[in-house]
Amino acid sequence: MSSRNMTLLIGLALVVFIASNALYVIKETERGVLLRFGEVVNPDIKPGLHVKIPFVNNVRKFDGRVLTVDSQPERFFTQEKKALIVDSYAKFQVADTAKFYTATNGEEARAAGLLAQRINDGLRNQVAVRTVQEVVSGERDQLMEDITTELNEVALKELGVQVVDVRVKKIDLPPDVSESVYRRMNAEREKEARELRSQGQELAEGIRAAADREVTVISANAYKESEQIRGQGDAEATRIYADAFNQDPEFYSFTRSLKAYQESFSGQGDVLLLQPDSEFFRYLKDPQGGK
């Protein structure tokens, strides 16, 4: 290989090396800053192909999409001095690349750690001025809105990031408090169950007493009606007997005597002690009965 070809080859390699170090691309999903010996000279490089001076300029690229920081569950105290375990996360996006670079050295993990600390501080302040009821359900949406607004101002000023949203994933009671709350809730449910059973028994006793009273009334009315019917029947029978007796008193007396004989002599071992001239033997001695 001649010296001329060698020179061309070396020159071409040098051009490729310089071009590769002088040209850079910023994607649509990225944000970047241009540095000159470590000093920021262009804090917001637009997406596209750009040129820099090799060995003089340096480019730092950051993710320009909405990122997530997941904070560790922390214990906070409410207005009533009751402890709550709050698990939260936040969505943020790089807004001021220069501030973000100077505050975090362009490290996403460091930014997430700093932001997580500020989230916990903001939650601690917000929870401290609210009751358990307000934190859990009453003002939960308002709490997240307030912490988002407050945290966005601090994060934009100190870290150069915009907080898009802060959300509370879960709110729990500490294990020791959860056990006491469970026991109290269980006692309240048992008390309510006893009250309901007592009310049910009282209602059952009332229904049973009303049913017994109604049975007594119905039985009394039925007995009264049956006695009235029986009395009417007895009166009718007496009237019929009286009419028959009045039509033929002697025949009535004769049939009554025959019935008395039948009932008296039906038993084989019966013994009667009577006077021979007793009226009982009237029709035995004289079938005409004295006629």
The answer to whether 6 touches 13, Cβ cutoff 8 Å, is: no
Give the pLDDT confidence score for residue 22 in this predicted structure.
Answer: 75
Q: At which residue do the structure tokens 């029978």 appear?
A: 237
The answer to whether 57 touches 36, Cβ cutoff 8 Å, is: yes
| C-alpha span between 125 and 149 (Å, rounded) | 13
The dihedrals phi and psi of 275, each to the nearest 5 degrees, come to -70, 140
| Mean pLDDT (whole number) for 181-199 | 87
pLDDT higher at 12 or 167: 167
pLDDT classification of 63: cutoffs 50, 70, 90? confident
| Mean pLDDT (whole number) for 75-100 | 86
pTM: 0.53
| C-alpha span between 162 and 93 (Å, rounded) | 5
Contact partners, residue 33, CB within 8 Å, separation at least 6: 40, 42, 43, 44, 45, 59, 60, 97, 98, 101, 106
pLDDT higher at 234 or 51: 234
Give the pLDDT confidence score for residue 214 in this predicted structure.
Answer: 92
* Residue 270 identity (one-letter amino acid): D
How confident is the model over 117-161, as pLDDT tens digits?
888 888 888 888 888 787 777 677 888 888 888 888 888 888 888
| C-alpha span between 134 and 156 (Å, rounded) | 28
Average pLDDT, rounded, for the chain: 80
Answer whether residue 76 shows pLDDT above 80: yes
pLDDT higher at 5 or 225: 225
b/e for 29-48, b at 16 or more Cβ within 10 A? eebbbbbeeeebebbebeee
Give the pLDDT confidence score for residue 282 in this predicted structure.
Answer: 64
pLDDT classification of 281: cutoffs 50, 70, 90? low
Question: How large a percentage of the chain has pLDDT more than 90?
Answer: 9
The answer to whether 155 touches 161, Cβ cutoff 8 Å, is: yes
Give the pLDDT confidence score for residue 218 in this predicted structure.
Answer: 92
SS3 134: helix
**H-state helical runs in the chain:** 3-22, 97-104, 108-128, 132-133, 140-158, 175-247, 249-264, 282-285
Question: How large a percentage of the chain has pLDDT more than 70?
Answer: 82
